Amino acid sequence: MSQWHRIKDWPLLPSRHDGPNVQLDMHLRSEVSAISPFVDKLMRLVRNLNGISGNEEAIEIALREALANAVIHGNQENSSKKVHVGCLCGTSEVSFVVRDEGCGFDIGEVPDPTAPENLESGHGRGIYLMKSVMDEVRFEQGGTVVFMRKSAKRRHA
């Protein structure tokens, strides 16, 4: 079964986009090895559909982090579980919803990776990175859903 299936009953992403929008609904298996090929394919589609020039690296970083968190922490790398991804591409921004099938987490319990006691830790930077590079990041449904949005860079005359 291909990873690019329509997800039934997937909620529509909120649209703040100007102009035409393209919505993609897909999923990937909960295996770390599935993340890179999935992101590579999705980013090719986003680049072809969207005017996000200048934001590609930030979007890719956030997407990789969200998927890694969903696969590793949310679904515990259980290959019988899926990570569901919704993407809305417009001419002025791109939005993602990543949903895992795990138990969720309390965002308030996530340690600050910039605190002196956490600087040496090899974990805990994914959420910080996502929030640093995207315009908006929200965790919903007990932490099983992350919504991310990035607007196109404005060109100066």
Q: Is the pLDDT of residue 4 over 80?
A: no
- pTM score above 0.85: no
Cα(36)–Cα(115) distance, rounded to whole angstroms?
30
Could you give the domains of the chain?
Answer: 22-151 (3.30.565.10)
Instruction: Render pLDDT for 135-146 as a digit per residue (tens, 0 to 9).
Output: 999 999 998 999
Instruction: Render pLDDT for 47-65 as a digit per residue (tens, 0 to 9).
Output: 877 656 678 899 999 999 9
Structure confidence at residue 16 (pLDDT): 52
Cα(54)–Cα(129) distance, rounded to whole angstroms?
17
Residues 6+ apart with CB under 8 A from 138: 146, 147
Instruction: Render pLDDT for 107-119 as a digit per residue (tens, 0 to 9).
Output: 888 878 778 887 7
Average pLDDT over residues 19-27: 78
